Structure formats: C-alpha cells, structure tokens
Amino acid sequence: MNQDNQIILPTPIPVQVSYNISSYTYNFMNLTFSTSATIQLFLLDASGNMRKPVTYILEGEEYKNWGGDDTYLINLLNSKMPEFTESLSR
C-alpha cells in the first residue's frame, strides 16, 4: 500500500463484522497416486461470499480411508470445519 495516499481519520470508526460460514466449495489441486490429495476449499457465508480459502492435504490413513468415496471426504471435511474456521473467530 502506498503510504502517500493514506488518509488518517480524525476519529477511528469501530467496525465489527459478524457472519456464519454456511457452506463451502472444494477442488482437487493435486493428486499423488497412492499417497495424498491436496484440496482447496473456499468457505462461504450465507450470501455465497468467500470468507476464507483453506488448503487441506489428505494423506496417510485419511487418504487410504477415502478410496474415492465422496461421502467419506465430505464427512471428513465437515468434521474439520471447527479447525478451518478457528482463525475467523479470533
């Protein structure tokens, strides 16, 4: 950011933004056969606005248990949401 264009307000304006994560989309970014899958998630609010991108690496027992079963993957990602959203509530 160019500091020459920064204007300091005479009185700061407090802003508190509150929203809920209500859905997400995901894409596979990388697949290493028999080893891991890298997944990019986009956490969305109720209006569909992207609030946070998350990269998750599926590996080890999770990768073995997945075996291409989308239901397993969705249940796993849903269970990880508290971890993924932790930084949003600070």
The DSSP 8-state label assigned to residue 74 in this structure reads: H
36 neighbors 63 (Cβ within 8 angstroms)? yes
Strand partners, 82: none
Which token pair is 81? 């949401």
**What is the distance between the alpha carbons of residues 11 and 49, in angstroms, rounded to a whole number?**
30
8-51: pLDDT as tens digits:
888 887 777 788 999 999 999 999 999 999 999 999 999 999 99
Strands 21-32 and 36-45 turn out to be: antiparallel
For residue 74, pLDDT over 80 is answered with yes
Q: Where are the beta strands (DSSP E) in the chain?
A: 21-32, 36-45, 50-59
**Region 69-90: what's the mean pLDDT?**
90
N residues, the chain? 90
Domain ranges (residues) in the chain = 21-89
Nearest one of 83, 19, 21, 90 to 55, comparing CA atoms: 83
pTM: 0.78
